[in-house]
Amino acid sequence: MRNRFLTTALFPATLALASCGTSANGESVAIPAPMAGTAVELEEGSPFLAEAYIDLDEGWGIAIEPTTGNLLITEKGGTAKYFNPATGTTLEVNGLPEVAYGGQGGLGDVAFAPDYAESGTVYLSWAKADEGEARRAVAGKGTFACDEAACTISGLTEIWQQDPAIESFGHFSHKIAFSPDGQHLFITSGDRMQQDPAQDLSNNLGKVLRLNLDGTPAAGNPFEAEGGVTSQIWSYGQRNLLGIDFDAGGQLWTIEHGPAGGDELNMVEPGNNYGWPVRSNGDNYDGRDIPDHTEDDGFVKPAIFWNPVIAPGDMVFYSGEMFPDWEGQLLVANLGTMTIARIATDAATGTATEEARYAFPQRLRDIAVAADGSLWVVEDTPDGRLLRLTAASAE
């Protein structure tokens, strides 16, 4: 019999206990502290101590297993790794889908289900080939289990897809989040570099979608009565959404790439239209102007925008003891600027302020908060690494 929790029995008993996870019966279980990694040099004055652990080939998504603190990491080319920080062991993952690799397409996000301790369910997103040169993002779920030799996702079933498929290798988005009550699945669906679909409610491109955990449209969505893919829509008028998370108060936020300028963070409410491609604080890549947001344009303005861009890869709201002054603030891992931006958000006003920006040696694709408050970060290159960030002041 394959045991999802076998790795906890393999931990050396002498390791210090750093934090806690959740067992299948809901009880708290101790998670061993990570072994030491290889030191990574950061700029002077950085609040972080950085250590590198394993090599990654275009790492994309990272999820922390709630029962063990181990990491499941996707690589864009269609592979995944399961890493035990306490022992340094890495296992291959079988049962992954065939992906349409190229451009921005490939294996995408990964997330453990809210009831993972009982169900063993894991969610994935990826780019899938369609007829001819068409591609679409899809999401699926299956059961995750490991033994001493490897891990497997069994029964992987597609539960959602972008509609329509588009002849483009860009703007899949396909980031995954769960509502704070664990009852709903949120997926970001990019505009596939077509722009106009973001304002068209007959498709699910350029949108945030709210679904049941089985991928069906959730009751209470703003366009529920329209049926079809329209009933999936939670918000629209969005471009290439590469970060989605809920703050401590349960408010949903997303971050997206703008065109030439105009990356933006949005506080997402049901039925809101965020303006793309009619409004943006950036311009088209060919130099054509896009009107900026104004107070009376009828669209929801971003909480904050960046021009020049930060090129966000993903984001997470921080909660933990390692960086107590950052509690409730947003951390954004950035690609083009190779930074982590720290942002204070205000759900009462729908605004945000960038507090600081910290430099790194490589592009950053994904970021996650461990139970002990440290950060796990994935570098976005063929020779990338998995990094752990702890507080410099702890030394």
List of residues 6+ apart from 241 with CB closer than 8 A: 173, 175, 188, 189, 190, 208, 254, 255, 256
Distance, CA of 274 to CA of 199 (rounded, Å): 9
- What amino acid is encoded at 135 in this protein? R
- 293 a catalytic residue: no
Count CB neighbours of 28 within 10 A. 10
Distance, CA of 186 to CA of 112 (rounded, Å): 13
Distance, CA of 237 to CA of 232 (rounded, Å): 14
Would you give the DSSP letter of residue 293? P
Of 171, 67, 161, which Cα lies nearest the Cα of 122?
67
Quick check: 61 and 76 in contact, CB under 8 A?
no
Quick check: 40 and 361 in contact, CB under 8 A?
yes
Instruction: Report residue 6: phi and psi, to 5°.
Output: -60, -35
Residue whose token pair is 């960046």? 306
Of residues 171, 174, 257, 293, which has the active-site annotation? 171
Pairing of strands 59-64, 207-212: unpaired
> Which residues are catalytic, by number?
171
